[in-house]
C-alpha cells in the first residue's frame, strides 16, 4: 500500500508539473506577462461566440502587445480576484474595465487612462421607478468592487434603499429582472451594452453619466515599470493612428450578434451546445482532472490524518484533530482565496490557480476524509488490535495488516460520498479563475444571456459525470466486498 501510494503521488505531481509547464511555454526572448481580467464584463472583457476573449480592453491590449513586442498569458477570473492577484503579485497587470480611483492609486500604478466612463443606473424594463427618490425601501443590486458600489453607498442614506452584492453581471441583471432587486448601479457603457444585447433593463441616465471618470490599466504599485511604459507607448500609438477609435466603435457601434453569436445558436440547447462544444469540453476536462487529482491526493492525506487520529501518541492525535477541525471549519472559498491571493504575498512565490485550487480541495476534502477514516478505524473491534499485539506485531504492523484493511472496508461508502462532494466542490474554484465547467458556464451566459439553457446544460453534464463516478465507485465497492 505504502509503495503504490508513493508512486501515485509522484505520478500526480509529475502530471501537475507538466500541465503547468505546457500552459507556460512561450518564446524565451520576449517578456511574457500574466494579465488578469474579468471576462464577464462586456463590452470591455468577454468571450465571443468562438470562446475567444475579446472586448475593447482585450483588443487594446492585444494591439499594444503586438506593437511593443511583448507577450502575455490572460487569466480571466472574478473582478476582485483579478485586482487582488495583481496587488498581491500573483499577476503582472490587470485590465478589467477598472476605474482609476485615489484608493486604487495607493495600490496600483495606472497606465494612461484609456476610456472615459461614468456611472449609470437601470431598472427593470416595465418598472415604474422614475427617479432616485422612488428607490426608498427598495433593493439595489451591485457588482462587488465596482465604482457603482461606491456611488450607491454614498447616496444610500439620502434615498433609503438596501443593497445586495453579486460577483458577476449576468446574475446581477437577472436579479433585477426577476424583481428580487429593483435597480442597479454600474458602469454606464456596460449596462448600455447589456441592454443593447437584449437584457430586459431600462437605463435611466443614458446621456448623463454620473461621476464621470477614467478606466486604467493597472500594475502592482512600484513594480513592472517596463510593462507600464510599453503599455503607454503602445497606447499613444494606437490613439494617434486611429486604431483606438476603430476598436471602440467596433464594440459600441456594432450589432450584438457579431460577438455573441446568432439567435439560432443561442435560442436552443442544441444550438448552444454546438456553438460552445469546445468550451464545454475544456471545462469538463478541467473539472475532471481537478476532481481526480483532488480525490487521489485528498484520500492519501485523509487516510494519513485518520491514522494519526488513532495514534497511541496523544500529541499526534491532537495534531490530527486540530487539522481536521481547522480545515473542516473553513469555507472552501475562503480557503481558496487565502491560498491563491493571501499566501503568495507572504511566501513571495506565485501559486498557479490550478495548484492553489488543488491544494484547497486536498486540505478541505482531506479533513472530511480524515474524520471518517478515524471513525472507521475506531469502529474496528479493539480485540483485533489486542490479538495482533499479543502475537508480537508492532503497532505499525498491526495497523497495516489488520486494522487499516478492515477499517477501509467500513469506509468505502463514505469515500464514495466524499468523491461526489469533491466533484461538486470543484465548481466553487471558479472563483479563483480556474476555467472549469462552472466558470465556463458563467462566461457563456455573460455573453449570450441564456442563463436557463446554459445552466441546464451544465447541470446535466455534472449529473452525468456524477452518475459515472457513482457507477465506478459501486463497482469498486462490490469488488472490495468479495
Partner 1 sequence: MSEAQTKSKIHVDKVNKSYGENHVLRDISLDINQNEVVVMIGPSGSGKSTFLRMLNQLEKPDNGTIIVDGFDISEKATDINKVRENIGMVFQNFNLFNNYTVLENIMLAPVELGKMDKAAAEKKARELLDTVGLVDKADVSVNSLSGGQKQRVAIARALAMEPDVMLFDEPTSALDPEMVGDVLEVMKNLADSGMTMIIVTHEMGFAKQVADRVVFFESGKIQESGSPEQVFNQPKNERLQEFLSKVMHA
Q: How far is the CB of 335 from partner 1 (least distance, A)?
A: 36
C-alpha dihedral (464, 468, 474, 480), degrees to nearest 10: -160
Q: Is 394 in the site for partner 1 (CB under 8 A)?
A: yes
- The correct pick among 10, 252, 387, 463 for binding partner 1 (CB under 8 A) is 387
Q: Is 401 in the site for partner 1 (CB under 8 A)?
A: yes
Q: Which is nearer to partner 1, 253 or 383 (CB)?
A: 383
Question: How far is it, in rounded angstroms, from Cα 148 to Cα 154?
Answer: 10
Taking CB under 8 A as the rule, which mask of x and - marks residues 406-445 in contact with partner 1?
A: x--x------------------------------------
Q: How far is the CB of 452 from partner 1 (least distance, A)?
A: 51
Q: Is 179 in the site for partner 1 (CB under 8 A)?
A: no
Residue pair 275/50 in contact by the 8 Å Cβ criterion: no
Q: Which is nearer to partner 1, 388 or 435 (CB)?
A: 388
Q: How far is the CB of 473 from partner 1 (least distance, A)?
A: 21
Q: How far is the CB of 146 from partner 1 (least distance, A)?
A: 59
- The correct pick among 192, 384, 417, 470 for binding partner 1 (CB under 8 A) is 384
Q: Is 313 in the site for partner 1 (CB under 8 A)?
A: no
| Phi, then psi, of 228 in degrees rounded to 5 | -65, -45
The dihedral sign for the CA sequence 453, 459, 465, 467: negative
Q: Is 20 in the site for partner 1 (CB under 8 A)?
A: no
The C-alpha cell at 256 is 450584438
**Window of 71-79, 99-107, 227-235, 387-395 that interacts with partner 1 by CB under 8 A:** 387-395
Q: How far is the CB of 299 from partner 1 (least distance, A)?
A: 19
Q: Is 388 in the site for partner 1 (CB under 8 A)?
A: yes
Residue pair 327/366 in contact by the 8 Å Cβ criterion: yes
Q: Which is nearer to partner 1, 134 or 477 (CB)?
A: 477
- The correct pick among 263, 264, 397, 478 for binding partner 1 (CB under 8 A) is 397
Residue pair 465/284 in contact by the 8 Å Cβ criterion: yes
Q: How far is the CB of 409 from partner 1 (least distance, A)?
A: 7
Q: How far is the CB of 3 from partner 1 (least distance, A)?
A: 17
Q: How far is the CB of 308 from partner 1 (least distance, A)?
A: 22
Beta-carbon contacts of 76 under 8 Å, excluding residues fewer than 6 positions away, are 36, 37, 38, 39, 45, 53, 82, 433, 435, 439, 443
Q: Which is nearer to partner 1, 196 or 389 (CB)?
A: 389
The Cβ-side half-sphere exposure at 412, using a 13 Å CA radius, reads: 15
The number of residues that bind partner 1 (CB under 8 A) is 18
- The correct pick among 153, 212, 379, 391 for binding partner 1 (CB under 8 A) is 391
Q: How far is the CB of 389 from partner 1 (least distance, A)?
A: 7
**Window of 58-66, 72-80, 130-138, 392-400 that interacts with partner 1 by CB under 8 A:** 392-400
Q: How far is the CB of 383 from partner 1 (least distance, A)?
A: 4
**Window of 58-66, 104-112, 349-357, 401-409 that interacts with partner 1 by CB under 8 A:** 401-409
Taking CB under 8 A as the rule, which mask of x and - marks residues 59-98 in contact with partner 1?
A: ----------------------------------------
Taking CB under 8 A as the rule, which mask of x and - marks residues 340-379 in contact with partner 1?
A: ----------------------------------------
Q: How far is the CB of 334 from partner 1 (least distance, A)?
A: 40
- The correct pick among 222, 253, 348, 383 for binding partner 1 (CB under 8 A) is 383
Q: Is 405 in the site for partner 1 (CB under 8 A)?
A: yes
- Taking alpha carbons only, the member of 234, 236, 223 closest to residue 70 is 234
Q: Which is nearer to partner 1, 388 or 432 (CB)?
A: 388
Instruction: Note the residues at the interface with partner 1 (CB under 8 A).
Output: 381, 383-384, 386-394, 397, 401-402, 405-406, 409
Amino acid at each position: 500500500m505504502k509503495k503504490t501510494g508513493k508512486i501515485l503521488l509522484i505520478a500526480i505531481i509529475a502530471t501537475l508539473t507538466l500541465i503547468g509547464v505546457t500552459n507556460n511555454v512561450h518564446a524565451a526572448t520576449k517578456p511574457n506577462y500574466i494579465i488578469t481580467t474579468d471576462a464577464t464584463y462586456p463590452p470591455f472583457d468577454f468571450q465571443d461566440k468562438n470562446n475567444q476573449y475579446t472586448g475593447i480592453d482585450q483588443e487594446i491590449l492585444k494591439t499594444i502587445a503586438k506593437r511593443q513586442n511583448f507577450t502575455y498569458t490572460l487569466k480571466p477570473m472574478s473582478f476582485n480576484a483579478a485586482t487582488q492577484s495583481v496587488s498581491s503579485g500573483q499577476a503582472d497587470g490587470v485590465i478589467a474595465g477598472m476605474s482609476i480611483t485615489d484608493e486604487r492609486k495607493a495600490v496600483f500604478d495606472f497606465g494612461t487612462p484609456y476610456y472615459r466612463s461614468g456611472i449609470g443606473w437601470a431598472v427593470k424594463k416595465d418598472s415604474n421607478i422614475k427617479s432616485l427618490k422612488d428607490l426608498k425601501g427598495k433593493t439595489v443590486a451591485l457588482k462587488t468592487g465596482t465604482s457603482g458600489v461606491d456611488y450607491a453607498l454614498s447616496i444610500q442614506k439620502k434615498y433609503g434603499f438596501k443593497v445586495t452584492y453579486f460577483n458577476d453581471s449576468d446574475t446581477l441583471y437577472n436579479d433585477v429582472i426577476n424583481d428580487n432587486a429593483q435597480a442597479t448601479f454600474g458602469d454606464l457603457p456596460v449596462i448600455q451594452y447589456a441592454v443593447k444585447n437584449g437584457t430586459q433593463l431600462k437605463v435611466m441616465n443614458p446621456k448623463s453619466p454620473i461621476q464621470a471618470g477614467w478606466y486604467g490599466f493597472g500594475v502592482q504599485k512600484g513594480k513592472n515599470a517596463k510593462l507600464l511604459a510599453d503599455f503607454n507607448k503602445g497606447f499613444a500609438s494606437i490613439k494617434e493612428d486611429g486604431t483606438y477609435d476603430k476598436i471602440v466603435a467596433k464594440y459600441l457601434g456594432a450589432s450584438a450578434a457579431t460577438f455573441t453569436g446568432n439567435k439560432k445558436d443561442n435560442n436552443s440547447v442544441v444550438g448552444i451546445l454546438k456553438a460552445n462544444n469546445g468550451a464545454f469540453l475544456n471545462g469538463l476536462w478541467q473539472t475532471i482532472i481537478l476532481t481526480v487529482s483532488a480525490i487521489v491526493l485528498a484520500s492519501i492525506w485523509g487516510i494519513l490524518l485518520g491514522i494519526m487520529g488513532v495514534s497511541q501518541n496523544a500529541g499526534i492525535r491532537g495534531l490530527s484533530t486540530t487539522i481536521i477541525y481547522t480545515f473542516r471549519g473553513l469555507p472552501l472559498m475562503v480557503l481558496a482565496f487565502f491560498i491563491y491571493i493571501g499566501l503568495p504575498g507572504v511566501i513571495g512565490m506565485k501559486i498557479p490557480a490550478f495548484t492553489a485550487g488543488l491544494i484547497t480541495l486536498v486540505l478541505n476534502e482531506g479533513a472530511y476524509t480524515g474524520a471518517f477514516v478515524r471513525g472507521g478505524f475506531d469502529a474496528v473491534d479493539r480485540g483485533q488490535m489486542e490479538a495482533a499485539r499479543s502475537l508480537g506485531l508492532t503497532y505499525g504492523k498491526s495497523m497495516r495488516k489488520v486494522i487499516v484493511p478492515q477499517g477501509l472496508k467500513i469506509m468505502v461508502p463514505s469515500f464514495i460520498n466524499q468523491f461526489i462532494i469533491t466533484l461538486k466542490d470543484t465548481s466553487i474554484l471558479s472563483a479563483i479563475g480556474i476555467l472549469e465547467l462552472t466558470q465556463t458556464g458563467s462566461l457563456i451566459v455573460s455573453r449570450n444571456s441564456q442563463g436557463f439553457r446554459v445552466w441546464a446544460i451544465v447541470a446535466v453534464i455534472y449529473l452525468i459525470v456524477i452518475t459515472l463516478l457513482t457507477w465506478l465507485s459501486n463497482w469498486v465497492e462490490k469488488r472490495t466486498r468479495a
